[in-house]
Amino acid sequence: MSENYRKAIEDLERNLQNQLDEIGDTKKAINLLCKQLGEPPRFDDVAKEVVKGSSARPDQFFNKPLATAVREYLQMRGAAATVDEIYDALERGGFEFVGKNEAIKKRGLQISLSKSRRIFAYLKASDTFGLWDFYGGRPKDEKEDENEESAGENAETKTKNGE
């Protein structure tokens, strides 16, 4: 039954995307006619709108590295997701997890996401993972700042010494 719902959602999302495309085309046409009349455009928001959370193709994540597949899914979704949501979406999208059972596969996914802190942000309050891009980029660690400063000092020393 859930497959029927997913199919219905995909069909509705496709219809919605077509409607959004038509609205954008109509706004552009109105703006063009206004320009011909020497009037200012009536619509500032003529950028293409995209339906967020569209379902993945059955082969979208097949043969892709885990981090790449998760990044693509989160970008497509446009919001953070739980491990269960990420797992279900990747599996529907053809990703092949390694493990004996679903619980082990999900635990492996959670560990991988936790170790990929440069890419994924863990939101403790909601127990979800998101992309740092959603939150204005990843904050720098103090160790990274120190490493960058010492790397800059080493480069300056080499330049002064003629190396």
- What does the domain layout of the chain look like in residue ranges? 1-51, 54-163
Q: How far apart are CA 116 and CA 137, in angstroms?
A: 14
Q: pTM for this one? A: 0.57
122 beta partners: 129
Per-residue pLDDT of the chain (163 residues; tens, 9 = 90+): 777 887 788 778 778 877 887 888 888 899 889 989 999 988 877 665 656 555 678 888 999 999 999 999 998 888 899 999 999 999 989 999 999 999 999 999 999 999 999 999 999 999 999 999 888 888 776 455 555 555 555 555 444 555 5
3-state SS assignment for residue 138: coil
- Which stretch of DSSP H or E encloses residue 75? helix 66-77
Residue of 78, 80, 82, 56 lying closest to 69 (CA atoms): 56
